[in-house]
C-alpha cells in the first residue's frame, strides 16, 4: 500500500512545536490520525496540517501548528512505541515486531532477521506505515536502533535499563 519505505527516509514536510512539551514535532498526513485515533476522536479532526510529537515524556501524540488542537496518547487506538517504557513496545506496526521480540531473537540466536524480513515485505508492497505507525513513517530506522540496543544488551545486561 505504502511507498513510505521506498526511499532512504520517509519525510512528509515541515515541523512545528508541540504545545505539550515545547519540542519539535514532525508533520504527518491527515490519513495517519484518521486511522489511529479512537473513533470518538476522528470526527474532531479539522482541515489542517497535523504533526506527530515523538517526545517520550510528552502525552501529546498529534497536534496542529496553530496550537488549537491536540490528541493525547490515551486517544490513540494503538500503543505509541516512542512513548512507551514497558513491554510490549511496538517497533514495527505493519508486521507486529516489538522491542521484546527483537531482544528475544538476539538473546536466543545472537542475531536478528527482523530488518531483512521487513525489507522483503516492503519490497512486496506489504507495508502501510502511514496508517499503522503513529509517526506515519517507515519503522526501519527504529528497528535498526532497537537491534543495536539489543546487541549491546546481549553483551551488557545493564544496557537495557539505559534506554
Tens digit of pLDDT per residue, the chain (163 long)? 555 665 444 444 578 999 999 999 999 999 999 999 999 999 999 999 999 999 999 999 999 988 899 999 999 999 999 999 999 999 999 999 999 999 999 999 999 999 999 999 999 999 999 999 999 999 999 999 999 999 998 876 555 444 4
Residue range(s) defining the domain that contains residue 49:
12-75
Same domain, 157 and 93: yes
Give dist(CA 155, CA 32) in Å, integer: 37
Give dist(CA 133, CA 52) in Å, integer: 11
Domain-located, residue 6 = no
The pLDDT, as a whole number, for residue 1 is: 52
The pLDDT, as a whole number, for residue 15 is: 82
CA-nearest of 84, 76, 89 to 132 is 76
Same domain, 155 and 92: yes
Give dist(CA 111, CA 119) in Å, integer: 16
Cell of 48: 489542517
State whether residue 19 is helix, strand or coil: coil
CATH number (domain holding residue 105): 1.10.10.1100
CA-nearest of 4, 160, 134 to 82 is 134
- Domain end marker among 75, 108, 128: 75
Q: Residue 34: what are its φ and ψ, rounded to 5°?
A: -60, -35
The pLDDT, as a whole number, for residue 156 is: 67
Same domain, 35 and 65: yes
Domain count of the chain? 2
Same domain, 95 and 142: yes
Same domain, 85 and 38: no
Domain-located, residue 4 = no
Cell of 53: 510529537
The pLDDT, as a whole number, for residue 155 is: 74
The pLDDT, as a whole number, for residue 6 is: 58
Same domain, 99 and 46: no
Domain-located, residue 7 = no
CATH number (domain holding residue 61): 2.20.25.270
Same domain, 106 and 69: no
The pLDDT, as a whole number, for residue 35 is: 99
Same domain, 153 and 124: yes
17-32 tens-digit pLDDT: 999 999 999 999 999 9
Domain-located, residue 153 = yes
Amino acid at each position: 500500500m505504502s511507498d513510505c519505505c521506498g526511499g532512504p527516509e520517509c519525510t512528509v514536510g515541515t515541523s512545528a512545536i508541540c504545545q505539550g512539551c515545547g519540542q519539535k514535532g514532525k508533520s504527518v498526513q491527515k490519513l495517519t490520525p484518521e486511522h489511529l485515533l479512537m473513533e470518538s476522536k476522528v470526527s474532531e479532526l479539522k482541515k489542517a496540517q497535523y504533526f506527530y510529537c515523538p517526545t517520550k515524556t510528552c502525552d501529546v501524540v498529534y497536534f496542529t501548528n496553530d496550537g488549537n488542537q491536540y490528541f493525547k496518547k490515551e486517544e490513540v487506538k494503538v500503543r505509541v512505541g516512542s512513548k512507551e517504557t514497558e513491554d510490549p513496545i511496538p517497533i514495527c506496526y505493519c508486521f507486529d515486531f516489538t522491542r521484546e521480540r527483537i531482544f528475544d531473537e538476539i538473546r536466543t540466536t545472537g542475531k536478528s532477521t527482523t530488518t531483512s524480513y521487513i525489507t522483503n515485505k516492503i519490497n512486496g508492497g506489504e507495508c502501510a506505515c502511514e496508517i499503522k505507525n503513529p509517526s506515519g513513517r517507515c519503522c526501519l530506522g527504529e528497528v535498526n536502533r532497537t537491534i543495536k540496543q539489543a546487541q549491546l544488551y546481549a553483551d551488557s545486561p545493564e544496557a537495557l535499563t539505559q534506554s
